[in-house]
Chain A
Amino acid sequence: MIIQVRELSKHFKVPVRKEGRFAAVRNLFSFERTSKVAVDGITFAIEKGEMVGYVGPNGAGKSTTIKMLTGILVPTSGEVEVDGLIPHRDRKRLAYRIGVVFGQKTQLWWDVPVIESLRLLKEIYKIPMSTYETNLELFNDMLDLHEFQDTPVRQLSLGQRMRSDLVAVLLHSPDILFLDEPTIGVDVVAKDRFRSFLQQLNEERQVTVLLTTHDLSDIEKVCERMMIIDEGRIIYDGAIADMKERIMPYRVLVVDFADNVPHIEIDQAELIERKNRRIRLRFDRRQISASALITELVARYPVRDISIEEPEIETIVREIYEHSAVVERLED
């Protein structure tokens, strides 16, 4: 296990905001604080080479977890171990082995060409020249860095900036990559590139990846495993494929009719939407197969066109939030 977390908790002291009459004035005189639990006794383990997605609503504790894993925050209680080191204690040693991308903020120097930032990072991380040159060449190929490496960062597009940040963070060949919302505001093409790059990286170098994002399709395409955190607790931890099966065995059939059909009734399928000549039927794959349902529909009604909708991962996740008493753990 390259990352181990046991009963990890983090409490913050936050100021108390009173409500009521003249609250604004009264608050000004009050210095009371109360304890807020950001992370509440979470436990998980990640193996070397795994690509894990870490998902949750805003304020759920994602960033706090990442900060504890990278040594930025000291946990209130519990244990955390990354690559054999305790992050907040061996911060500098760990820094050589991890790379962190904070989505909105670039870690490059704003007004100078990208390559200058990279040269400085080479000094900071004490990267030997041979490794530096090898990595640079590699990233030139994979991310087309040479297109803009002489441009100041402030003149780069968001996609180019993201690519530069990736290079910056991988220059010292870290074993573990933490990505915190790396693709915010990035266009579809760049996202695609980003995903294939991550996969390539994982294949060639077994880099372990922990990806935090609101874009669930990023996770679906890149990760095999997903953890969902809500209100400081992990409510799901398992393979994505299984998640679809267990939580959401439903599919939706979209049917277009040739004529108006006044009354539709199908066994084992639920009519969830009807608009003009299009209906949407929800069915449980465990009870009836898609082909059986289609056969029946075609036999009874003038069907013009049919398509099957996979449940969106967003729906699944929402489903999990709403039934967050479900805590699934799949052992490897």
Chain B
Amino acid sequence: MKVLYAFIRTAFHNAWIFRLDFWLITPGLFIMMYANYSLWAILYRQSPHAFGMDLERMTTYGVLGILLLPVMRSAMRIQYYIAEQVRLGTLELDLMKPLDFMFHMLSRSVGDLGVELLTRCVPGLVFTYLFLDFRPPISAQAGFAFLVSLALGYLVIFVLSFLMGMLSIVTLDIRSYSWAYHSLVRFASGQVVPLWMFPPALAAIAVALPFQAVYFVPMSIYVGAYEGSLQSALLSQAAWAVGLFLVARLCWECVQRRITIQGG
């Protein structure tokens, strides 16, 4: 626990170094929330009840996607952190710390998460509630399931980012892979366009990928649009989380051995 507290302090300090830049992200998020809101508002005024959804739930979905961005980004940042450590050649320093590397990374991102929740999500919720007609979850059960689902989605994106970090240790220039990867995430995660709108072929692909477990599952649970039982939703997420975790762990063991043999 003390470790976690230390990482939260670090996260605050990092934010402090470029305070203005840090704070400017919040209004930026507000603008994006508004953009998403108006997108769905206009589309649904044009075609009301498309896909059995109504305008209010759809705009809530759209705005939720932006609200969750900072949450998931706190996990995604470890990919860049690891890549940066590799570039600077200081990865060995992290390895020498008496802390399991994966746990270290997780603490780092949770520390970040704390800062993001406080400085983005809270003001974001206020903003979107006041101005963008943000609705609460459709039921208390859905609300609770949403929170669990969110945590699971967070774990999934964490492990995925950790794997991408492993990739950056193994290959030299990850930029090209990174973009293709991120565009895939954007496509299949349901963050902007919900999966139920996908034509069947694409939907099948998207469902087979882990990215929908990050955004789509919790978001659709929130607005009550998940097809299937809540239990199966959470179970599928958990399956992804556990499965990817094992893969990541395996990769880490291999990479770790490689580093200590080759010397970085």
A and B touch in the complex (CB under 8 A): yes
Q: Which A residues have a C-beta under 8 Å from some C-beta of B?
A: 15, 24-25, 27-28, 31
Q: Does chain A have a CB within 8 A of B19?
A: yes
- Cβ contact within 8 Å between A24 and B19: no
Closest to B22 in A: A28
User: Could you list some 18 contacts between A and B, CB below 8 A?
Assistant: A15-B19, A24-B9, A24-B12, A24-B13, A24-B16, A25-B12, A27-B12, A27-B13, A27-B16, A27-B19, A28-B12, A28-B15, A28-B16, A28-B19, A28-B22, A28-B119, A31-B19, A31-B20
A55 to B259 alpha-carbon distance, docked (Å): 39
Dominant secondary structure at the B interface: helix
* Tally of contact residues, B, Cβ under 8 A: 9
Q: Which B residues have a C-beta under 8 Å from some C-beta of A?
A: 9, 12-13, 15-16, 19-20, 22, 119
A15 to B17 alpha-carbon distance, docked (Å): 9
Closest to B9 in A: A24
Closest to B118 in A: A25
A contact residues around B13 at 8 Å (CB): 24, 27
A241 to B16 alpha-carbon distance, docked (Å): 48
Closest to B12 in A: A24
A15 to B15 alpha-carbon distance, docked (Å): 13
A15 to B9 alpha-carbon distance, docked (Å): 18
A15 to B22 alpha-carbon distance, docked (Å): 15
B contact residues around A31 at 8 Å (CB): 19-20
A contact residues around B22 at 8 Å (CB): 28
3 pairs of A and B residues whose beta carbons are closest in the complex: A24-B12, A27-B16, A24-B9
A258 to B20 alpha-carbon distance, docked (Å): 71
B contact residues around A25 at 8 Å (CB): 12
B contact residues around A27 at 8 Å (CB): 12-13, 16, 19
B contact residues around A15 at 8 Å (CB): 19
A123 to B164 alpha-carbon distance, docked (Å): 43
Q: A15-B19, A27-B13, A28-B19 are in contact. List 6 more A-B contacts (CB 8 A).
A: A24-B12, A25-B12, A28-B15, A28-B22, A28-B119, A31-B20
A contact residues around B16 at 8 Å (CB): 24, 27-28
Name the distance in Å between B175's Cβ and chain A's nearest Cβ.
Answer: 16
A27 to B22 alpha-carbon distance, docked (Å): 12
Name the distance in Å between A28's Cβ and chain B's nearest Cβ.
Answer: 5
A contact residues around B20 at 8 Å (CB): 31
A262 to B22 alpha-carbon distance, docked (Å): 69
Closest to A31 in B: B19
A15 to B18 alpha-carbon distance, docked (Å): 10
